[in-house]
A and B are shown apart, each in its own frame.
Chain A
Amino acid sequence: MSQVDDAQGASIDTPPEKPRHRATKGPRVPMREQDAARRATNFEEVAVGYSAEEAHAEAMRCIQCKNPTCIDGCPVNIDIKSFIAAIIDGDLSEGVRVLKERNALPAVCGRVCPQEEQCEAACVLARKGEPVAIGRIERFLGDHDLACEMDHRCAPEVGPSTGKRCAVVGSGPAGLACAGELRRIGHEVTIFEALHAPGGVLTYGIPEFRLPKAIVGTEIEMLSEMGVTIETDMVIGATLTVDELMTEEGYDAVFVGNGAGLPVFMGIPGENLNGVYSANEFLTRVNLMKAYEFPSSDTPVWRGRKVAVVGGGNVAMDSARTAIRLGADEVFLAYRRTEDEMPARIEEVHHAREEGVEFKMLCSPVEILGHDGFVTGLVASRMELGEPDASGRRAPMCVVDSEFTIDCDTVIMAVGTRANPLLSKAAPDIELTSRGHIVTDEQGATTKQGVFAGGDIVTGAATVILAMGAGKRAAQAMDSHLRG
């Protein structure tokens, strides 16, 4: 047996099949990053990505378990073991092929998936040391594919035409995954996007420095190459209804993946002052509308000197780090629990701190102060943690008479989103939950015949990969329905 097994203590329940390689020991290969001081002034990507040598060196750490638990850790069950084996063998094309079998957007997922909670958490090596950096390797393969000329890229095979037409509403992760899958099967697919650019949250929400828009664009190009039509500026529920898609427009089935896009505010005094943004607005101005290039880009954004971001999730981190890059002198994050309960990825928290974001924990805003219509400060209450609540996290409670004021000229609310009623209002026969989310069965079928749904509009705000998984599952269910 190889030395790795003894060292890692992983051989007992998952011995390697036959040694493809001699796995190397030691910590994971670090991924190069732009220096924090430098990156805080630009919108270029923070993490540079692995070189071929680094990807190979990291792949060599994989012990190629007989029963690879990492695959179960992946929401779309990518054959991780095989794509890593392909890298070990030096066959990058094969690696990309394996990856794309289950995931149409590897360069995106390699960047934004919370691998530390999914595949990497399930990696056998994680029990005794650092797991294989699956996400970084995935990103490397995804980027390798994107760097190729279109006709050399790994194009998923498109099945023979079924003669059926599918409409996909929304071009975010759920819609893109669903469209890709439907097209592979051989259905004709049109995606309807309300905004002027496809990608959904990948385009308007996640910042350039974490997910370059050129990457999103190139991944989407592949769908077009496969024959998926994308119609932008099409607001389903306004320009056309779901009913009209199925009657006048002649679609045989519809997938709804329009996201949970309505921002939530706290309902505290002063929230409509100038300088208070929803994270959605702030990020949309900067990412989708390129306000950081104002005035050569026409959309302005209020550039605060002292910025308060309210929330503790990835969107809060994205907002805080964007504010830093727009030139704020000070950016702090107010979160009502402690860092242990923060839902943001550890990596994002780490990056934010490196870039100078200050964390004010156990702190909940109660009022926003203003003068002449503009924000001048934030009144917050100190919090303490009580017993665990429904979410399993300890519930924050206000400390009596603990209010204090913080000077700031901008407040960004990153406290969640809810379902957008625009589409569902125009489709009364699609059943909704009390919170406006679409009710579906496990496969994604709604209460309306031929209409399926997935992603945030069904689950509420979640991750890119979960939305993609839902889109893919729904595509399979749509296919069964169409073959009826």
Chain B
Amino acid sequence: MFRIVHKRQLSDAVFEMGVEAPRIARKAEAGQFLMLRIDETGERIPLTFSDWSAEEGWVRFIFMRVGKTTHKLSHLDVGDEIKDIAGPMGIPTHVDDLGRVVVVGGGVGAAVAYPVARAMARAGNTVTVVLGARNADLLILQEEFEALGVELVVCTDDGSAGRKALVTAPLKEMCEAGTVDHSMAIGPAIMMKFCAATTKEFGVPTTVSLNPIMVDGTGMCGACRVTVGGETKFGCVDGPDFDGHAVDFEELMSRQRIYSDDERLADAEYSRECSCHK
């Protein structure tokens, strides 16, 4: 059992949660994830670390309430327990002194972008963060990014905060200016696809952090297979970071949709059961 030690609502449907997991906290690195199962009938889902403290023995993750599992999770509070958490899974983000690094975080992807930007900055890179969301309400972690002391470009689709632009607009401008040595794009698959397409034109190496469906997260099932450079890779053990210019995003997006009917059914049933909740 893993005790919840922190919970913060970041927007209507987005939550930050911290759990006591000293062994995992000691090992966690930027870009890695954990596998979580809430209770005995729960499914196993991957969640990427948004933060951790080896000293205090906790790890944090950020999730958006989209289906039954995240719905259930959002109903848990500090002091409650989560049945299973395993990790850290996946290969950490390759952090090196790469020069001028742009980290794009879109939507909940900002949660993963945060430790990546922090690690890149600590490694001596000049880091620019492009933080994007549909609107101001959905923008998360802005203060945390500001506290890193990195350059921050905020954009929203509707202009309710920062620039009215898609994240690809500032990314393209920086590429054009020739001020990018490496870029990282973390967010919805469609956003990562367009970021990779943007940087490809300029030959700027781009790493993406993929979020395919997983079951065990240890390489055992292959649910998370993605095509990278024409080869099948497992997101869990070969990734989750891959060369954005080589990823077949259409396939990834198609594979992410396989259970959408089931997910709607399960969530609708759950919502009916707990109509006492908001």
Residue ranges of A at the interface with B (Cβ–Cβ < 8 Å): 194-196, 204, 232-235, 238-240, 261-263, 265, 267, 271-272, 274-275, 278, 280-281, 284-285, 289-290, 293-300, 302, 372-373, 420-422
Contacts and interface: CB of A to CB of B under 8 A. Distances in A.
A45 B118 CA distance: 54
B41 A238 contact: no
The main secondary structure of chain B at its interface with chain A is mixed
B3 to A, nearest CB: 14
Contact of B43 (A238, A265, A272, A289): A289
Interface of B: 23-24, 27, 37, 41-44, 68-69, 83-89, 215-216, 218-223, 225-227, 232, 234, 237, 251, 254-255, 257-259, 262-263, 265-266, 269
Given A233-B84, A239-B88, A281 B24 contact: no
B265 to A, nearest CB: 6
The main secondary structure of chain A at its interface with chain B is loop
B41 A278 contact: no
A252 to B, nearest CB: 20
B220 A280 contact: yes
A238 B37 CA distance: 18
A294 B259 CA distance: 12
Given A235-B89, A275-B258, 11 more contacts: A194-B216, A196-B44, A234-B23, A238-B89, A239-B23, A239-B86, A289-B43, A298-B69, A298-B266, A373-B251, A422-B218
B220 A373 contact: no
Nearest to B268: A295
Contacts of A265: 222, 225, 232
A298 B218 contact: no
Contact of A299 (B84, B215, B232): B215
Nearest to B39: A298
Contact of B41 (A195, A235, A296): A296
Contact of B220 (A196, A234, A262, A298): A262
Contacts of A274: 254-255, 257-258
A233 B86 contact: yes
A420 B219 contact: yes
A196 B37 CA distance: 8
A263 B84 CA distance: 24
A180 B23 CA distance: 26
6 contacts: A194-B216, A195-B216, A196-B86, A238-B86, A239-B88, A284-B220
Nearest to B251: A272
Contacts of A194: 86, 216, 218
